[in-house]
Amino acid sequence: MMWGALQRKGVLGINRRNARYTLFSNDRSRYPLVDDKLATKRLCSEANIPVPRLLARAGLHREARLLPERLRREASFVLKPARGAMGNGILVIHGDGKGGFLRAGRPIPEEDLVYHAAGIISGLYSLAGHQDAALVEERLEAHLELASLAPGGVPDVRVIVYRGLPVMAMIRLPTLRSGGRANLHQGAIGAGIDLARSRTSHAVLRHRPVSVHPDTGESVVGVGIPEFERVLEIAVHATDRTGLSYVGADVVVDAVRGPVILELNARPGLVIQLATRAGLRPRLDAVDRLLGRHDCDWQQALPVQERVVLGQQIAAEQAG
Amino acid sequence: MSRSVFVTGLLLVAAGLGLLAVKVGVYGIPLVPTETPGPWQVELRIHVRGEGGRGSVRALLPPPSATQSIFDERSSSDRLSFSIREQEENRLGVWTGWLEDIHEIVYQFRIQSRPREVAVPAPGEGEPLSRALRLQFTRPTSALPASAAAVKELLAQLDLPSQDDVAARIRTIYAFVAHEIERIPSAGDDALLTLAHRGGSAEGKERLLITLLRGAGIPARVVRGLELREGVTPEPRTWAEASARGVWIPLSAVHDFFGSRPEAFIELGRGEQPLVEATGVRVVGHRFMAIRESLRPDEIASLLAPDNPVLRKLSLYRLPVPSQAALRVLLLLPLGALTVAFFRNGIGIATYGTFLPVLIALALRDYPLSMGLALVAIVTGLAVFARGGLERLRLLMVPRLSILLCLVVLVVTGLALLGEDVELPDLFAGVVFPIVILTMLVERLYITSAEEGLREALIRAFWSVVVAAGIHPLLRSEIAGYLMFSFPELVIAIVGLLVWIGGYTGYRVADLVRFRALVRDGSGARPS
């Protein structure tokens, strides 16, 4: 019963995602472009796609020891692994104005920063435990219209891009329980976005439907996403650069800079279907019908804006 | 599932099962092991270092008798000639030749032990031993000083029943040695010292028993053999035989039997002949190995040498005992891998690594499940406990994990001591492999707890152990072991099943659970 109901809804299961989309249509040799945030950053910068500014990079333990000195003047920054997964190992740090550092409002000793960077370099947070590099990026700030929705964190928009078309999107709202992180399995809210209307339509918290943010009580359904067209455009544009055909792009709408690509993911999760309350399969199949055979060179044919419109149409048709 | 995947899987499954069907249907190989315990397969491996001249190696070979049948005997030795010599009541295997450097001699046989109760014939029945034999087996020797004063004195004290009731006389002497003489493993083998101290080694007690029997005029002799136990190296055993009205009665004051030897004991020979001896060599060493078969001898014969010459070549039952023992375990691993694939892709359980659960199950194979799980729980508990303390010291990754390994080793050492105290000395007999695997588990646990939090790490460890616990009975199952070993073609069928699982693009059970909210909402209609 359960089975048939999911089937009718067109829910994409993990086996099918792996077999048809992440394994079959994503060229394995291109994974490093998205797994390594530094490579993604370079890729996007070359095409003038906005990304968080890189403040420092430490690939060796002795470079990690130099970090506090280099970062003393910054008002705030984010320390993260270049090849981390699922938001692990990320520290958000503020300057205290006197050359010291604060984490979540409390002072954090310099040694702790160095120790954390050393852990990153040892591969503690990297995908397969390999040697990694610690990156320091500017801290993005939530757009004013979204700031009230996510106290203590920066929400980001996850866009699933398939063969150059945006097919599904949700906004991830950090909660106190998620520790300010925008990861659903850590307790962030996922709110599905209606691609055509640029508004959230449903929301889930830990796989259960919710309508208000547990920390603020504000409604998380029916919220308009600022500059949403631009979000979809840079998601599609960045995906084009990777040569991968099934990608989850994470975009932050920054208060100052507007939409910025945070990272790309070659194995995006499937919980987005819960947040949008829609299955992925009908949309993916519609893209395949529209574009025809898999190996044709369709990407260059259409400008990014037109593909965004196509994606919005497909989403609207499948929803209707 | 695509058509090509379905067909490929089907072909492989059909090939595997088809071969099995042919072996069962045409060549009559039994599909399941019989209930009755089958014969033992025993291997004697002798290593000698020669002196560079002619020499010989002699070993007692099991004699066929009413209580044990021997079949499928084989010997292999490099550059030595082999012959069997009958010597009085013993069968001696003799390997002779030019002995230099190291020679390895392997002698294998299958043996079915069928002990039965030997009754003493009623007076007047039975055929007494010949006078010569009677003399031979009542004669005092240096090892069996039956005429010593101490022996005579004790026999007088024992107040033996009359000469007519031989059975009662034997029983009285047996009861004395069994109950009044203490067993002291470190004591010597001398019969008189054992008597004087009222205690001696196993050998000493049996010698005293025989000495006393001879002293009382009852023919008695030493029997040498092995005790075979599953999963344990065969132990050399000595016991006694006493003749009552021409019938030899097996008895042992150490292993507590009278009239019928235990099924686990097999005979190798009689008298003072050692199990293995050699001349013209510098060093000689030997080792027994045994595995239990789960089939009747005739069924083994069909596996060992089927009518078909190709099958005969492919029969794993022809291999030496150690290779067989290793292959029996190895051939179970595909079943474990199949289980993991099913749990991960069919159910959607997240485990550590792909095959860690198989390795955990394999590591714990020699323990009962409860003990294995306790071991895992103790080791992981320790890792979680130590994690807190190590976190504070801010050590780098590799030394930190190495410290954990040291802690695991310490704990296992402690448990081994504990095992000794609660008389479970076998608990940590083969401990190296489990340690390696458990340390791997701890390492994964540690990394995951750093990356994704302790909760997630423990959940994943829990599921890994659950899957391992699911595989564990398979690895211990006699039927599974028999099937995979007798029909290795089943591996092909398993590959077919794995092709199916790999091509399965339907939902996992975990998907159904995860997306249940989508279904509950039912209509699929969108609120505006």
ipTM entry:
0.76
pLDDT at B77: 83
Q: How many CB pairs under 8 A join A and B?
A: 88
Residues B395 and B445 in one domain: yes
Average pLDDT over residues B115-139: 83
Distance from the Cα of A129 to chain B's closest Cα (Å) equals 8
pLDDT at A248: 93
Interface check for A204 against chain B (CB to CB < 8 A): the answer is yes
Mean model confidence pLDDT for chain A: 87
**Cα–Cα–Cα angle for B144, B147, B150, nearest 5°?**
95
Predicted confidence band of residue B426 (pLDDT cuts 50, 70, 90): low
Closest CA to A64 of A101, A114, A112: A114
Percent of chain A surpassing pLDDT 90: 38
Predicted confidence band of residue B2 (pLDDT cuts 50, 70, 90): confident
Nearest by CB: B517 against A86, A204, A279: A204
User: Alpha helix locations (H) across B61-201?
Assistant: 131-138, 149-158, 166-180, 191-197
Average pLDDT over residues B454-472: 88
Residue B523 has pLDDT above 50, yes or no: no
Predicted confidence band of residue B298 (pLDDT cuts 50, 70, 90): low
Contact at CB, B345 and A15, closer than 8 angstroms: yes
Q: Which residues of B touch A (CB under 8 A)?
A: 345, 348, 394, 396-398, 447, 450-452, 503-508, 510-512, 514-519, 521, 524, 526-527
| Mutate: best of A1, A9, A12, A14, partner B, most B CBs <10 A | A14
DSSP code of A22? I
Predicted confidence band of residue B423 (pLDDT cuts 50, 70, 90): low
Predicted confidence band of residue A297 (pLDDT cuts 50, 70, 90): low
pLDDT at A312: 93
Interface check for A21 against chain B (CB to CB < 8 A): the answer is no
Percent of chain B surpassing pLDDT 90: 20
A235, A166 contact by CB (below 8 A)? yes
Residues B400 and B428 in one domain: yes
Q: B25: buried, middle or exposed (CB in 10 Å: 19+, 13-18, 0-12)?
A: exposed
Predicted confidence band of residue B419 (pLDDT cuts 50, 70, 90): low
Q: For residue B373, which phi and psi values (nearest 5 degrees)?
A: -65, -40
pLDDT at A159: 96
Q: Is B421 helix (H, G, I), strand (E, B) or coil?
A: helix
**Considering only the top CATH level, what class is A54-138?**
alpha beta
Average pLDDT over residues B492-506: 92
Average pLDDT over residues B39-48: 89
Q: A18: buried, middle or exposed (CB in 10 Å: 19+, 13-18, 0-12)?
A: middle
**Sign of the alpha-carbon torsion through B418, B420, B424, B430:** positive
pLDDT at B525: 40
Domain ranges of chain A: 2-50+143-319, 54-138
Residue B69 has pLDDT above 60, yes or no: yes
pLDDT at A260: 95
Q: Is A262 helix (H, G, I), strand (E, B) or coil?
A: strand
Average pLDDT over residues A249-278: 91
Contact at CB, B508 and A15, closer than 8 angstroms: yes
Distance from the Cα of A66 to chain B's closest Cα (Å) equals 18
Interface check for A222 against chain B (CB to CB < 8 A): the answer is no
Write out chain B residues lying below 8 Å of A14, CB-based.
348, 508, 510-511
Contact at CB, B450 and A125, closer than 8 angstroms: yes
Task: For residue A237, give both structure tokens.
Answer: 């544009």
Residues B396 and B473 in one domain: yes
- Side chain identity at residue B465, one-letter code: V
Determine how β-strand A76-81 pairs with β-strand A54-58: unpaired
pLDDT at B527: 39
pLDDT at B38: 78
- CA B513 remoteness from chain centre: 45
Write out chain B residues lying below 8 Å of A202, CB-based.
527
Q: Count how many Cα atoms sit within 13 Å of the Cα of residue B69 in the half-sphere of its side chain.
A: 8
Average pLDDT over residues B138-142: 89
Helix (H) or strand (E) holding B476: helix B454-476
Helix (H) or strand (E) holding A45: helix A37-46
Residues B49 and B31 in one domain: no
Q: Is residue B316 part of a domain?
A: yes
| Rounded Cα distance, B296 and B294, in Å | 7
| Rounded Cα distance, A34 and B258, in Å | 78
B46, B57 contact by CB (below 8 A)? yes
Write out chain B residues lying below 8 Å of A273, CB-based.
515, 518
Q: Could you report the per-residue pLDDT of B427-448, keeping only the tens digit for each?
A: 555 556 677 777 778 878 877 7
Rounded (10°) angle between helices A110-122 and B397-421: 80
Q: Could you report the per-residue pLDDT of A210-258, keeping only the tens digit for each?
A: 999 888 888 999 999 999 999 999 999 999 888 888 999 999 999 999 9
Q: Which of A126-140, A176-190, B22-36 has the lowest mean pLDDT?
A: B22-36
Average pLDDT over residues B326-341: 90
Q: Which of B187-201, B273-287, B485-499 has the highest mean pLDDT?
A: B485-499
Length of chain A measured in residues: 320
| Rounded Cα distance, A201 and B25, in Å | 64
Q: Could you report the per-residue pLDDT of A74-104, keeping only the tens digit for each?
A: 888 999 998 877 677 888 888 888 888 988 7
Residues 6 or more apart whose CB falls under 8 angstroms from that of B449 comprise B384, B387, B456, B457, B458
Q: Is residue B389 part of a domain?
A: yes
| CB-CB neighbours of B527 under 10 Å | 8
Residues B475 and B502 in one domain: no
Write out chain A residues lying below 8 Å of B521, CB-based.
209, 277
Nearest by CB: A125 against B451, B506, B508: B451
Structural domains in chain B (count): 4
| Rounded Cα distance, A217 and A206, in Å | 17
pLDDT at B513: 85
A125, A217 contact by CB (below 8 A)? no
Distance from the Cα of B489 to chain A's closest Cα (Å) equals 28
Rounded (10°) angle between helices B166-180 and B149-158: 110
CATH number for the domain harbouring residue B65: 2.60.40.2250
Q: Is residue B137 part of a domain?
A: yes
Mean model confidence pLDDT for chain B: 83
Distance from the Cα of B502 to chain A's closest Cα (Å) equals 9
Q: Could you report the per-residue pLDDT of B127-138, keeping only the tens digit for each?
A: 888 888 888 898
pLDDT at A319: 67
Average pLDDT over residues B117-122: 81
Determine how β-strand B199-200 pairs with β-strand B182-183: parallel
Task: For residue A205, give both structure tokens.
Answer: 């918290």
Fold classification of A2-50+143-319 is: D-amino Acid Aminotransferase; Chain A, domain 1 (3.30.470)
Q: Which of A141-150, A169-178, A301-310, B395-404 has the lowest mean pLDDT?
A: B395-404
| Mutate: best of A3, A15, A185, A276, partner B, most B CBs <10 A | A15
Distance from the Cα of B511 to chain A's closest Cα (Å) equals 6
Q: Could you report the per-residue pLDDT of B191-213, keeping only the tens digit for each?
A: 888 888 888 888 899 999 999 99
Q: Which of A173-182, A197-206, B293-302 has the lowest mean pLDDT?
A: B293-302
Q: Is residue B121 part of a domain?
A: no
Q: What is the DSSP string of B276-307?
A: EEEESEEEEEEEEEEEE--S-HHHHHHHHS-S
Q: Is residue B434 part of a domain?
A: yes
Residues B359 and B326 in one domain: no
pLDDT at B506: 87
Residues B376 and B321 in one domain: no
Q: Which of B88-97, B285-294, B430-439 has the lowest mean pLDDT?
A: B430-439
Residue B526 has pLDDT above 60, yes or no: no
Residues B365 and B303 in one domain: no
Interface check for A140 against chain B (CB to CB < 8 A): the answer is no
DSSP-assigned beta bridge partners for residue B106: B45, B76
Q: B511: buried, middle or exposed (CB in 10 Å: 19+, 13-18, 0-12)?
A: buried
Nearest by CB: A15 against B504, B515, B521: B504
A231, A251 contact by CB (below 8 A)? yes
User: Alpha helix locations (H) across B394-453?
Assistant: 397-421, 432-452
- CA A112 remoteness from chain centre: 27
Domain that holds residue B469: 350-484
Residues B109 and B196 in one domain: no
Residues B355 and B477 in one domain: yes
- CA B298 remoteness from chain centre: 22
Residues B86 and B211 in one domain: no
| Rounded Cα distance, B97 and B56, in Å | 7
Contact at CB, B516 and A9, closer than 8 angstroms: no
Residues B423 and B303 in one domain: no
B445, B380 contact by CB (below 8 A)? yes
Beta strands in B88-231 (DSSP E): 90-99, 102-113, 182-183, 199-200, 220-229
Contact at CB, B508 and A14, closer than 8 angstroms: yes
Residue A296 has pLDDT above 70, yes or no: no
| Rounded Cα distance, B137 and B222, in Å | 10
